[in-house]
Amino acid sequence: MISLYKKFTVIAAASLLTACSNLSEYQTKLPHLEYKEVTADISNKTAPVVNANFCIVNNLDRGVDVKRLMLILFVNGMEIDMKEIDYDKEVKANSRKCYTAKFEPDVVHSPNASSTLLNTMLDRTYRIEGTVVYDDDDVIPVTTSGEGILY
């Protein structure tokens, strides 16, 4: 009886390990954000803007319903702006759909954010973090980030 129990435990553990590796593989293929070009438009000194081009990428062989996208832009370590986009669409299987997010810091309530964008004497580094929230509440949202020099 004991040897049968031990065999069952080993088989159950192996099955669980296989299921977990398949789950992690599945989660890495879930729709996520990839970032292309991030540029600053400081021609209007009273309202500087940062444009971030990004794509929603789905590497799965089936469509996935996405509820919301959340994007946060940091410049030189300072949070500049946050965008929450109600997406409410299906991301088709094996697809890539690209968009542009326009970040506009609140110059009245956050003058430091604007001055950071306008200061061209410094190398302005950016980091953008994006989270994809799915319609299925059981699926953990996927967060990705990108960084570089802001021109």
One domain, residues 91 and 139:
yes
Highest mean pLDDT among 103-107, 120-124, 143-147: 143-147
User: Do 21 and 35 have their domain in common?
Assistant: no
Looking only at the bridges linking them, the beta strands covering 49-58 and 64-75 are: unpaired
Question: Same domain, yes or no, for 17 and 85?
Answer: no
Residues 17 and 35 in one domain: no
More confident call, 121 vs 93: 93
Together in a domain, 12 and 53: no
**Per-residue pLDDT for 5 more than 90?**
no
- Residue 50 β-bridge partners: 40, 103
* pLDDT tens, position by position, 45-76: 888 899 999 999 999 999 999 999 999 999 99
Helix, strand, coil percentages (3-state) for the chain, rounded to 5, are 25, 50, 30
Exposure of 58 by Cβ count < 10 A (0-12 exposed, 13-18 middle, 19+ buried)?
A: buried
Residues 25 and 36 in one domain: no
On whether both 103 and 134 belong to a single domain, the answer is yes
pLDDT of residue 121: 77
Domain count, the chain: 2
Whether 94 and 117 map to the same domain: the answer is yes
What pLDDT, on the 0 to 100 scale, is given for residue 129? 97
Q: How confident is the model at residue 123 (pLDDT cuts 50, 70, 90)?
A: confident
Cα dihedral sign, 70-73-79-83: negative
Question: What pLDDT was estimated at residue 21?
Answer: 53
pLDDT band at 6, cuts 50/70/90?
A: very low
Spatial separation of the C-alpha atoms in residues 150 and 56, rounded to whole Å: 22
pLDDT at 22: 57
Same domain flag for 60 and 25? no
Per-residue pLDDT band at 35 (split at 50, 70, 90): very high
* Helix H or strand E encompassing 65: strand 64-75
What is the number of other CB atoms lying within 10 angstroms of the CB of residue 119? 12
Residues of the domain holding 75: 31-149
Same domain for 22 and 41: no
**Residue % of the chain over a pLDDT of 70:** 81
pLDDT band at 118 (very low <50, low <70, confident <90, very high): confident
Output the domain CATH number for residue 69.
2.60.40.10
Residue type, 119: N
Q: Which of 126, 83, 74, 118 is nearest to 102 (CA)?
A: 83
Residues 95 and 123 in one domain: yes
State how far the Cα of 75 lies from the Cα of 72, in Å rounded to an integer: 10
On whether both 40 and 100 belong to a single domain, the answer is yes
